[in-house]
Amino acid sequence: MGVTCVSQVPVAEGKSVQQTVELLTRKLEVLGAEKQGTFCVDCETYHTAASTIGTQGQTGKLMYVMHNSEYPLSCFALFESGPCLIADANFDILMVKLKGFFQNAKANKIETRGTRYQYCDFLVKVGTVTMGPSARGISVEVEYCPCVIANDCWSLLMEFMQSFMGSHAPGLPSVFGTKHDSIYSPSDTMVQYMELFNKIRKQQQVPVAGMR
Q: Nearest distance from residue 82's CB to another protein, in Å?
A: 18
| CA separation for the pair 146, 2 (Å, rounded) | 6
Residue 37 or residue 171: which is nearer to another protein going by CB?
Answer: 37
Q: How far is the CB of 2 from another protein (least distance, A)?
A: 10
The residue among 85 and 149 lying less far from another protein, judged by its C-beta, is 85
Q: How far is the CB of 74 from another protein (least distance, A)?
A: 5
Instruction: Provide the binding-site residues for another protein, judged by CB under 8 A.
Output: 1, 70-76, 86-90, 185-187
Cα angle value 123/70/149 (rounded, 5°)? 55
CB half-sphere exposure, 161, CA atoms < 13 A: 26
Distance CA 112, CA 140 (A): 10
60-to-53, 102, 117 alpha-carbon distances in Å? 6, 10, 39
Beta carbon nearer to another protein, 60 or 186: 186
Nearer to another protein, 185 or 204 (CB): 185
CB 190 → another protein: shortest distance, Å?
9
